[in-house]
Amino acid sequence: MNSPAKKSPPSSTLSRRRLVQAATAAPLVGAASGLTTAGLTSSAAAATATSAEGVRDAMLRAATYMDETVSYEGAYVWSYRPDMSLTWGEMEARRTMCWVQPPGTPTVGHALLDAYASTGEKRFLDAARRTGRALVRAQRPEGGWNYIHDFAGPKSLKRWYESIGINGWRLEEFQHLYDNSTFDDAATSTAGQLILRLHLLDPRDRGFKRSLNKVIAFITDAQIRGGVGDGGWPQRWPVDPKATTEMPWPKKRPSWLSADAKPGMVDGDYTQHVTFNDNVLGENIKLMLMCVVSLGRDDLVEPVRRAMECVRRMQQPAPQAGWGLQHLAEDLDGRPAGAVAAGRSYEPRALATHTTQTNVEQLFTYFQLTGDRSFLDGVPAALDWLAGCRLTEQQRAENPLIASRTHPTFVEPGTNRALFVHRFGSNIVNGAYYYDYDHRDTLSHYSGGRSVPEARLRAEYDRLRALSDAEVADLVARSPLTPGDSYELPPFFSLHDLGLLELLRGTSHEVSRPGDAEVARVVTDLGEKGYWLSAADAITNPFRGPGSKHPYDGKAYMSKHVGDTFDTSPYPANNPPAVPPYQPAEPPQLINTSTFVENLGTLIRASAS
Mean predicted confidence (pLDDT) in 151-172 = 98
Residue 82 falls within a domain, yes or no? Answer: yes
Give 537's pLDDT tier (boundaries 50, 70, 90): confident
Q: Is the pLDDT of residue 224 over 90?
A: yes
> Is the per-residue pLDDT at 16 higher than 80?
no
Which structural domain, as residue segments, surrounds residue 112? 71-222
Write down the pLDDT at residue 36: 46
Examine residue 110 and state whether it is found in any structural domain, yes or no.
yes
* pLDDT score of 33: 39
Contact 119, 111 (CB under 8 A): no
pTM of the model: 0.92
pLDDT tens-digit profile of 159-169?
999 999 999 99
pLDDT value of position 302? 98
- For residues 389 and 591, what is the distance between their CA atoms, to the nearest angstrom? 42
Q: What pLDDT, on the 0 to 100 scale, is given for residue 46?
A: 65
Q: Would you say 53 and 519 are in contact if contact means Cβ atoms under 8 Å apart? A: no
Determine the Cα–Cα distance for residues 32 and 394; give it in Å rounded to an integer.
60
CATH number at residue 115: 1.50.10.20
pLDDT at 210 over 50: yes
Q: Report pLDDT for 50.
A: 85
Lowest-confidence pick of 25-34, 150-159, 402-411: 25-34
Q: Is residue 100 part of a domain?
A: yes
Asked whether residue 601 is domain-assigned, the answer is no
Distance CA 372, CA 607 (A): 40
Structure confidence by residue, pLDDT tens digits, 308-366: 999 999 999 999 999 999 999 999 999 999 999 999 999 999 999 999 999 999 999 99
Task: Using pLDDT thresholds of 50, 70 and 90, give the confidence band for residue 609.
Answer: confident
pLDDT over 90 at 40, yes or no: no
Percent of the chain with pLDDT strictly greater than 70? 92
Q: Mean pLDDT over residues 38-61, rounded? A: 79
Q: Which residues of 152-174 are buried (b: 16+ CB within 10 A; e: fewer)?
A: eeeeebeebbeebbbbbbbbbbb
Q: How confident is the model at residue 51 (pLDDT cuts 50, 70, 90)?
A: very high
Q: Does residue 287 sit within a domain? A: no
Question: Which secondary structure element, helix H or strand E, spans residue 357, and what is its range?
Answer: helix 353-370
CA distances from 502 to 80, 489, 551 (A): 34, 9, 53
Q: How confident is the model at residue 47 (pLDDT cuts 50, 70, 90)?
A: confident
Say if strands 326-327 and 262-263 run parallel, antiparallel, or are unpaired: unpaired
Residue 310 lies inside a defined structural domain of this protein: no
Domain assignment present for residue 206? The answer is: yes
Give the pLDDT of residue 48: 73
The answer on pLDDT for 28 being more than 90 is no
Mean pLDDT value across residues 281-308: 98
Long-range contacts of 293-297 (CB under 8 A, 24+ apart): 293/480, 293/486, 293/487, 293/488, 293/489, 293/503, 294/196, 294/200, 294/486, 294/487, 294/488, 294/489, 295/196, 295/200, 295/486, 296/485, 296/486, 297/216
Question: Does residue 31 register a pLDDT over 50?
Answer: no
Asked whether residue 332 is assigned to any structural domain, the reply reads no
Res 86 pLDDT > 60: yes
Number of domains forming the structure of the chain: 1
Average pLDDT over residues 30-59: 67
Q: Is the pLDDT reported for residue 236 higher than 80?
A: yes
Q: What is the pLDDT of residues 410-445, one digit of tens each?
A: 999 999 999 999 999 999 999 999 999 999 999 999
Task: Collapse the DSSP code of 415 into the 3-class scheme (helix H, G, I; strand E, B; otherwise coil) and give the result.
Answer: coil
